[in-house]
Structure 1
Amino acid sequence: MRALILYRPGLPGWLSEMLKYQGPSRLAMEILAWHETLYYHAVTTAMYAEAVGRALGLQEEELEWLTQAAFFHDCGKISWPLVLADRERLDTEDRKLVNVHPIAGAYYLRQYWPEVPKLVCRIVKEHHERSDGSGYPNGLRNGEIHPLSMIVAAVEVYTALLEHRSYRDRGFMKVEALAELERQGFPENVIQVLAAVENDVTMGKMFGVKNLAGK
């Protein structure tokens, strides 16, 4: 399993470097072990986040934190029963698990990677918060959410919309996904960057994965 993650041909350089460290590598292995498609989603989200961060002129340290948080944003899902990976409709109990996965993710990061930057944990906790207060787990509003969290939130939604999911017939076309981001009120500068990024940023050809887990 370790070799599969660390030495898979074509792995992005930043990910290879990050996974040299035992804590993050172990957590990445847990993500892959839970569901390969969750791992694929993590890599794709991180690659889009890196592209957005560079385009917005983030400094290298901020860019590193953004990319790390984007990769680990859904690591809290490893606490879910595997049945949730492909469930088309969520019941009340399912939703309870879904709504706490950002908090679980921050706990997992601190457990596996004690030196994890505090901002990385914060971004993971906030990646489902929304500026109008409709998000979870804490219903934060604009001004309470870190700007890097909003980038990961937008990129994660964009990535998910482009992917095939069990609860819809097809993935969104790029123009549809961008329109949905605008409808949901994500930052205009992030949407503009995503509009300019080619979809070959995705890792589908490398990993050969068509189905993706996530809510």
Structure 2
Amino acid sequence: MRALILRRPGLPGWLSEMLRYQGPNRLAIQMLAWHETLYYHAIATAVYAEAVGRALGYTGEELEQLTQAAFFHDCGKITWPSALVSKARLNNDDRKLVNAHPIAGEYYLREYWPDVPDTVCRIVREHHERADGDGYPNGLKDGQIHPLSVIVAAVEVFTALTEHRPYRDRSFTRAEALAELERQGFPGKVVRVLAGIKEMAVGRVVGK
């Protein structure tokens, strides 16, 4: 099963290196086993987050932790029933599961990867927090949210909007997704960097 992740076609080389440790690789396998959309969304989010981080001047350990957290940001979803993948309308019980996945993700990271950096766990826990306090799970506001969490949050929304989802008629165009990021109040510098990335192709980011 280890080779399933490490040698999967299209996996970026840096991601293969990141998953070389048994714990992170086992968690990645669980993500793929739960649903392919979760796994490929994780790759897309990590690729874009790495590109955005580099463009904003992050290097070394900070860039590595940003990328790690971007890949594992939704790992808490492996607790969900698979029916939630395509469910168009969520009831109150569904919403409770959804709102708990950042916390579940931190628990899974610490279980599978005992020496996971605290910053990676914090980003995973905060990737649905919003500057206006309207996010979850803790309703944090601007200034309380880690700057790397903000990047992952913006990139995650962008990738989710532009990917296919069975519960909506069509994906957002890139322009529509960028406009939605602006509407939601994400930092202009992050939106501008994403706007400058032309496309993602087989595990790499292609510039204009």
TM superposition score category, shorter chain reference: over 0.9
User: For each residue in 1:17-76, what CA deviation from the matched residue of structure 2 results, as whole angstroms up to 9, or x when unmatched?
Assistant: 011100000000000000011000000000000000000010211000000000000000
Partner residue, 1:75: 75
Aligned-partner SS, 1:116? coil
Aligned-residue CA RMSD in angstroms?
Answer: 1.3
Structure 1 gap ranges (5+): 204-215
Matches for 1:144-155 after TM superposition, within 5 Å: 144-155=144-155
Partner residue, 2:107: 107
Partner residue, 2:7: 7
Identical-residue share of aligned pairs (%): 73
Distance, in Å, in 1 between the alignment partners of 2:11 and 2:165 is 24
Contact preservation (8 Å) 1:76, 1:108: yes
User: For each residue in 1:146-205, what CA deviation from the matched residue of structure 2 results, as whole angstroms up to 9, or x when unmatched?
Assistant: 0000000000000000011122210000010000000000011000000000223465xx
How far 1:100 moved relative to its partner? 0.5
Partner residue, 1:186: 186
Partner residue, 2:206: none
User: For each residue in 1:77-115, what CA deviation from the matched residue of structure 2 results, as whole angstroms up to 9, or x when unmatched?
Assistant: 000011111111111100000000000000000000000
> Structure 2 counterpart of 1:179, which letter?
A
How far 1:3 moved relative to its partner? 1.8
Q: 1:163 to 1:41 in 2, by over 3 A?
A: same
Distance, in Å, in 2 between the alignment partners of 1:108 and 1:171 is 30
TM-score norm. by structure 2 comes to 0.95
Partner residue, 1:174: 174
> Structure 2 counterpart of 1:34, which letter?
W
Aligned-partner SS, 1:176? helix
TM-score norm. by structure 1 comes to 0.92
Matches for 1:83-98 after TM superposition, within 5 Å: 83-98=83-98
Partner residue, 1:16: 16
> Structure 1 counterpart of 2:108, which letter?
Y
Distance, in Å, in 2 between the alignment partners of 1:180 and 1:2 is 38
Matches for 1:41-52 after TM superposition, within 5 Å: 41-52=41-52
Q: 1:24 to 1:188 in 2, by over 3 A?
A: same
Q: Identify which range, 95-104 or 9-18, moves more after superposition.
A: 9-18
How far 1:9 moved relative to its partner? 2.8
Partner residue, 1:138: 138
